């Protein structure tokens, strides 16, 4: 845990990345596994994660991120997109996967499946989309923490035009919606932000013990 706290103090929202440094394949695979293992409601993982390396595509995305150069300077760009129009198809796919992985008859999971369907399907569409979008932040947190452990820099970003990202990346036809993005790579030595002291609330201000 001491390393976790040390890594959390080391991490900051990187403003300028070193374009000459790229994430090694093994480290990228570790980041992907950290995202894959993220917690999610019911274990459904109702989102997709795009990892964008293509410099031409990232240049197209830059204006949609209001010119924030982390988009093009970082080694990789992660785009977390929640699934829309969620229903029985996604739940049944989860049940099939759980049945195969846990070596259980699909019938043994029927009760859980009915419970999920009875809870999720009646939700208004906008409420479901808000719910699935929240799940992406759990995955984002795993990415940030895993990256810090590997001394890889990251910048969680909500400052982008989601509809433009959706159009450029063709997400709507996949029933996806861009929610939050994170350039990852290595800080530039000229990024002055790395020298700033971390500003957080004190324990007294933040926590309430009852």
Q: What is the pLDDT along the chain (210 residues), one digit of tens a residue?
A: 679 999 999 999 999 999 999 999 999 999 999 999 999 999 999 999 999 999 999 999 999 999 999 999 999 999 999 999 999 999 999 999 999 999 999 999 999 999 999 999 999 999 999 999 999 999 999 999 999 999 999 999 999 999 999 999 999 999 999 999 999 999 999 999 999 999 999 999 999 999
Give the span between the Cα atoms of 81 and 173, in whole angstroms: 13
From the options 3.40.190.10, 3.80.30.20, 3.40.1130.10, 3.40.109.10, give the CATH code of 2-85+125-206. Answer: 3.40.109.10
Q: In angstroms, how far apart are the furthest CA atoms of the chain? A: 59
pTM summary value: 0.96
Degrees to nearest 5, angle at CA 151 with 40 and 149: 40
Give the span between the Cα atoms of 113 and 15, in whole angstroms: 44
* Helix ranges (DSSP H) in the chain: 2-10, 25-36, 55-61, 70-73, 88-102, 110-120, 125-149, 162-169, 203-206
Q: Where are the domains of the chain?
A: 2-85+125-206
What is the number of H-type helices and E-type strands within the chain? Answer: 9, 4
CB 113 within 8 A of CB 88: no
φ, ψ of residue 125 in degrees (nearest 5):
-60, -40
| Strand, helix or coil for residue 194 | helix
């Amino acid at each position: 845990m001491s390393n976790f706290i040390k890594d959390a103090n080391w991490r900051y929202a990187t403003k300028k990345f070193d374009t000459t440094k790229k994430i090694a394949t093994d480290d990228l695979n570790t980041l992907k596994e950290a995202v894959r293992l993220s917690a999610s409601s019911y274990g459904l993982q109702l989102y997709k994660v795009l990892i964008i390396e293509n410099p031409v595509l990232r240049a197209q995305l830059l204006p949609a991120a209001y010119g924030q150069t982390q988009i093009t300077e970082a080694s990789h760009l992660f785009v977390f997109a929640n699934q829309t129009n969620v229903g029985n198809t996604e739940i049944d796919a989860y049940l099939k996967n759980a049945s195969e992985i846990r070596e259980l008859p699909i019938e043994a999971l029927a009760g859980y499946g009915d419970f999920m369907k009875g809870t999720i399907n009646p939700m208004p569409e906008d409420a479901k989309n808000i719910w699935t979008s929240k799940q992406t932040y759990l995955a984002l947190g795993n990415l940030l923490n895993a990256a810090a452990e590997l001394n890889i820099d990251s910048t969680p970003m909500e400052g982008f035009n989601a509809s433009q990202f959706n159009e450029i990346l063709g997400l709507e036809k996949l029933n996806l919606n861009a929610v939050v993005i994170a350039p990852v790579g290595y800080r530039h030595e000229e990024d002055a932000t790395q020298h700033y002291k971390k500003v957080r609330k004190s324990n007294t201000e933040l926590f309430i013990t009852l």
